[in-house]
């Protein structure tokens, strides 16, 4: 299986709708189309934009942020950068509000979500404000709701409403703290999304923590409160731990849906779709009986009843495998930091890309030009083929798995021949800064063997084992996946030898990613690594 397909082709779907690390998803309906965005942290391009006609089949159509326009992001700042965004449609334009926990709150906008987006506009400068969501009331007044990052501001579990100018360019009054989750067993409440329905203001916000939390909804007749609250979805007896933040989508009168993520450890935060209904002006999300006010996630369900989607063709999801036969880089790829167009040359006539060798950092986890993409399946094997002819002395090129626990397998060109090299390590964090030290192991290859074939194949294999643990109270259990990552190489593309394996671990708020890289360990100007394909199976 090359891709995770959620659409069963018979009018039903199976969760997750995206087995991809689209953390903190938010979505909006515009006419007959749905658009989604998600966190991107320090990876670029950032703020992915996805499109769907039925809320089940999604296509990645672009990014809203080419690079992060702040000093320091030319190198990876793991766990920093672009956090949970909100996408809305105002005044005939798409807006994406996003936080950078160390820098402030920003928005970008575009008339065409698949086209060019504006430069970021800063609406709040400072650390600690996160998860912003803009809102326009019936009288045209504008507001923003947001949460707080304790690591930057000293507290969390609170939500505030901020009055905004009509163009959203500035704050026009004092923020009002409208909810304190520590006072009512909604600790770590965050990711708020503000809506209005039937005269009520609603704030959808997860609480309880990412992995073992639940969905809370607040409501009030006044935007500044007081707000009452209710738990509307939790794990219960399902395998979907901590159903976390997302978006309410209305597709028609009486049909509502909720998109949210589930944290599955190393593979990151995958996306689910839940049915939603209303009882006494309260939402109930997921599967729930007639008298239940709190639902649970569904595993399989009837697709949203949206006219015209029957003709959209076979089920699909964002691309993963890449033959490198396009004149530009495919959208599933992101770099490990702010990127330069000089790092890559597409050669579609040869179905190949050439990655320029960049001076090596002290740790491969801090290498900005790692070309990465999200894990697309619970288990998979991915293969790539590297041509050696354009490499210079000191160049190292190969395949990589990037996360808090990371590894790479590459070929190093030396003045005496070639060395097969494994690199592995684990990040540690102090005051939100990542530190890592690589363990390097070199295996000599006979130069004549490499020169004869002129290329080498690399492979990553991910296998999964599930263990079951109970929650702190012992009233329900939840699965914990463990993924083992094995690196192999081949000199003929057929027979592979394993040389490195370890248990993977998610990155700082980010799922593990796999990809390719070229760097020069001597610090000199290097050559190129030419990659023929990147195929999942």
Half-sphere exposure in the Cβ direction for 508 (13 Å, CA): 24
User: Is the sign of the CA dihedral 317, 320, 322, 328 positive or negative?
Assistant: positive
- Residue 131 CA, chain-centre distance (Å), reads 15
What is d(CA 84, CA 95) in angstroms, rounded to the nearest whole number? 14
What is d(CA 233, CA 335) in angstroms, rounded to the nearest whole number? 35
Residues 6+ away with beta carbon under 8 Å from 293: 230, 231, 232, 279, 282, 284
| Cβ pair 336, 77 in contact under 8 A | no
| Active-site position among 190, 322, 338, 438 | 190
What is d(CA 164, CA 168) in angstroms, rounded to the nearest whole number? 6
200 strand-pairing partners:
197
Using DSSP's 3-state secondary structure scheme, residue 92 falls into coil
407 strand-pairing partners:
401, 424
b/e map 339-369, b = 16+ CB within 10 Å: beeebbebeeeeebbbbbbbebbebbbbbbb
| Cβ pair 129, 171 in contact under 8 A | no
| Active-site position among 24, 26, 256, 532 | 24
Cα separation of the two ends of the chain: 5
Instruction: Say whether 26 is catalytic.
Output: no
Residues 6+ away with beta carbon under 8 Å from 426: 404, 405, 406, 436, 505
Task: Report DSSP letters for 263-320, one per residue.
Answer: E-GGG-EEEEEEEEEEETTEEEESB--TT-SSBB--SEEEPP--TTGGGS-S------
Residues 6+ away with beta carbon under 8 Å from 196: 135, 137, 138, 202
> Phi/psi zone of residue 225: left (φ > 0), alpha (ψ -120 to 50 degrees), beta?
left
Instruction: Say whether 93 is catalytic.
Output: no
* Two tokens, residue 461: 């294999």
CA distances for 304 relative to 263, 286, 290, angstroms: 24, 13, 21
Which residues are known to be catalytic? 24, 190
């Amino acid at each position: 299986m090359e891709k995770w397909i959620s659409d069963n082709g018979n009018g039903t779907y199976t969760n997750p709708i995206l087995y991809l690390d689209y953390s903190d998803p938010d979505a909006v309906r515009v006419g007959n189309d749905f658009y989604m965005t998600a966190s991107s942290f320090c990876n670029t391009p950032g703020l992915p934009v996805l499109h769907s006609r039925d809320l089940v089949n999604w296509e990645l159509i672009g990014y809203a942020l080419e690079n992060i326009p702040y000093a320091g992001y030319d190198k990876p700042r793991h766990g920093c950068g672009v956090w949970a965004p909100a996408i809305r449609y105002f005044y005939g334009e798409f807006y994406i509000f996003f936080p950078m926990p160390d820098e402030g709150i920003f928005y970008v906008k575009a008339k065409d979500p698949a086209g060019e987006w504006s430069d970021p506009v800063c609406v709040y400068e400072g650390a600690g404000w996160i998860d912003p969501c803009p809102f326009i009331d019936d009288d045209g007044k504008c507001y923003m709701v947001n949460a707080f990052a304790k690591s930057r501001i000293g507290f969390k579990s609170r939500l505030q409403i901020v009055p905004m100018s009509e163009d959203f360019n500035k704050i026009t009054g004092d923020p009002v703290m409208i909810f304190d989750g520590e006072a009512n067993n909604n600790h770590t409440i965050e990711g708020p999304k503000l809506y209005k329905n039937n005269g009520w203001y609603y704030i959808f916000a997860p609480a309880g923590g990412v992995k073992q939390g639940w969905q809370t909804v607040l409501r009030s007749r006044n935007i500044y409160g007081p707000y009452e609250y209710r738990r509307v979805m939790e794990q219960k007896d399902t395998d979907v731990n901590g159903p976390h933040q997302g978006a309410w989508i209305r597709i028609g009168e009486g049909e509502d849906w909720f998109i949210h993520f589930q944290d599955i450890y190393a593979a990151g935060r995958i996306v689910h779709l839940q049915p939603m209904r209303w009882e006494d002006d309260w939402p109930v999300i997921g599967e729930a009986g007639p008298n239940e006010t709190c639902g649970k996630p569904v595993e399989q369900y009837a697709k949203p009843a949206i006219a015209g989607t029957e003709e959209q063709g076979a089920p699909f999801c964002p691309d993963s495998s890449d033959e490198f036969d396009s004149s530009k880089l495919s959208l599933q790829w992101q770099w490990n930091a702010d990127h330069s167009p000089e790092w890559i040359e597409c050669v579609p006539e040869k179905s190949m890309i050439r990655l320029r060798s960049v001076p090596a950092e002290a740790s491969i986890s801090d290498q900005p030009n790692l070309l990465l993409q999200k894990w697309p399946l619970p288990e998979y094997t991915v293969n790539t083929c590297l041509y050696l002819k354009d490499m210079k002395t000191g160049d190292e090129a190969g395949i990589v798995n990037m996360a808090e626990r990371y590894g790479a397998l590459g070929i190093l060109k030396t003045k005496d021949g070639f060395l097969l090299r494994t690199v592995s390590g684990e990040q540690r964090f102090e005051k939100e800064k990542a530190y890592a030290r690589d363990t390097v192991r070199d295996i000599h290859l006979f130069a004549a063997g490499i020169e004869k074939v002129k290329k080498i194949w690399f492979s990553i294999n991910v296998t999964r084992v599930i263990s079951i643990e109970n929650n702190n109270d012992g009233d329900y259990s939840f699965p914990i996946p463990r993924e083992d990552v094995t690196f192999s190489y081949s000199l003929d593309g057929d027979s592979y030898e394993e040389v490195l394996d370890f248990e993977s671990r998610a990155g700082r708020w980010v799922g593990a990613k796999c990809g390719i890289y070229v760097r020069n360990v001597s610090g000199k100007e290097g050559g190129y690594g030419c990659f023929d394909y990147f195929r999942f199976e």
